[in-house]
Amino acid sequence: MPPQKSERRGIVLILSSPSGAGKTTLTRMLLQDRRLDLTLSISVTTRPRRTSEVDGIHYRFIAQRQFEAMRDSGELLEWAQVHGNFYGTPRQPVEELLAQGRDALFDIDYQGTQQVRQKMPTEAVTVFILPPSMKELRARLERRAEDSPETIENRLNNARNEISRWTQYDYVLVNDDLQAAFDDLLAILRSERLRRPRRTESVAAFVDKLLSEG
Ligand SMILES: Nc1nc2c(ncn2[C@@H]2O[C@H](COP(=O)(O)OP(=O)(O)O)[C@@H](O)[C@H]2O)c(=O)[nH]1
Ligand SMILES: Nc1ncnc2c1ncn2[C@@H]1O[C@H](COP(=O)(O)OP(=O)(O)O)[C@@H](O)[C@H]1O
């Protein structure tokens, strides 16, 4: 009998990148592969909804007063101000997933990543995604065509600071060829799921049974 998955505590797979490097695209690809059984943590944010976004699926779009109430009552696992808006991760859905042995996927910035690493050092697996060039980063933000020119400039101005945080992460990858970047993410997820400390309980039972044979 293979090891029982439900005995493990889940992983928190965190993707961060400067705006436009492709973390939303890679997140979508990970979620589309149902066999991976990843669940996206849906953040709350005070930023305006983009036309392509659906409330409750991509984010929960809330007013600043509501954000402050959630933050002050400890409902957020982490939170940060990014590009002038507030973002945060509701704590309870994540705790429930991890307790069920299921893995959560976070698309959060470097400030939030630091907070999660401190609070969940065992569960957090962090990946920083770099663009192939600054020129391509700008081109992607312009091609995405969802933000105003001012918003794009603001995001590009923040990109250098964000990129300088790459050393805080467990893994770094360059999203040049999308499929290659996705394959790298799959390799990271697969290896992290196989790490011995994450499987100790279930493997111990399996080994006991193995050794009891004949
Ligand atoms: N700390 C933190 N950052 C978040 C959260 N949700 C999103 N972000 C980050 O906020 C930044 C802006 O995200 P978004 O407004 O969707 O713009 P995009 O990066 O251009 O797609 C990105 O770096 C996200 O990773 C969150 O719950 N907490
Ligand atoms: N490897 C890639 N090659 C070309 N375009 C890409 C690649 N990855 C993402 N894109 C495109 O770049 C734009 C920004 O990607 P997105 O995933 O929204 O970035 P982020 O979530 O990091 O802001 C989107 O239009 C997306 O389709």
Instruction: Name all domains of the chain by residue range, CATH numbers in brackets.
Output: 5-41+103-204 (3.40.50.300)
User: Is 88 near ligand 1, meaning CB less than 6 Å away?
Assistant: yes
Ligand 1 atom at minimum distance from 89 CA: 27
Mutate which of 25, 85, 138, 158 for ligand 2? The one with the most ligand atoms within 8 Å of its CB, which is: 25
User: Is 144 near ligand 2, meaning CB less than 6 Å away?
Assistant: yes
Q: Whose CA is nearest to atom 20 of ligand 1?
A: 19
Which residues does the annotation place in the binding site for ATP? 17-24
Compute the Cα dihedral for 195, 186, 163, 63 and give only its sign: negative
For the beta sheet containing 124-130, the strands, ordered from the edge strand earlier in sequence to the opposite edge, are 38-40, 103-107, 12-16, 124-130, 171-174
Distances (CA, A) of 78 to 16, 21, 118: 14, 22, 10
Q: What is the pLDDT at residue 4?
A: 44
Kindly give the distance from the C-alpha atom of residue 25 to the centroid of ligand 2, in angstroms, as a whole number.
6
Q: What is the pLDDT at residue 188?
A: 98
User: Is 143 near ligand 2, meaning CB less than 6 Å away?
Assistant: yes
Ligand minimally distant from the alpha carbon of residue 41: 1
User: Is 17 near ligand 2, meaning CB less than 6 Å away?
Assistant: yes
User: Is 162 near ligand 1, meaning CB less than 6 Å away?
Assistant: no
User: Is 43 near ligand 1, meaning CB less than 6 Å away?
Assistant: yes
Q: What is the mean pLDDT of each run of 10 residues along the chain (214 residues)?
A: 60 97 96 96 96 94 98 98 96 95 96 98 97 96 89 92 97 98 98 89 88 90
User: Is 19 near ligand 2, meaning CB less than 6 Å away?
Assistant: yes
Q: What is the pLDDT at residue 1?
A: 53
Q: Whose CA is nearest to atom 28 of ligand 1?
A: 88
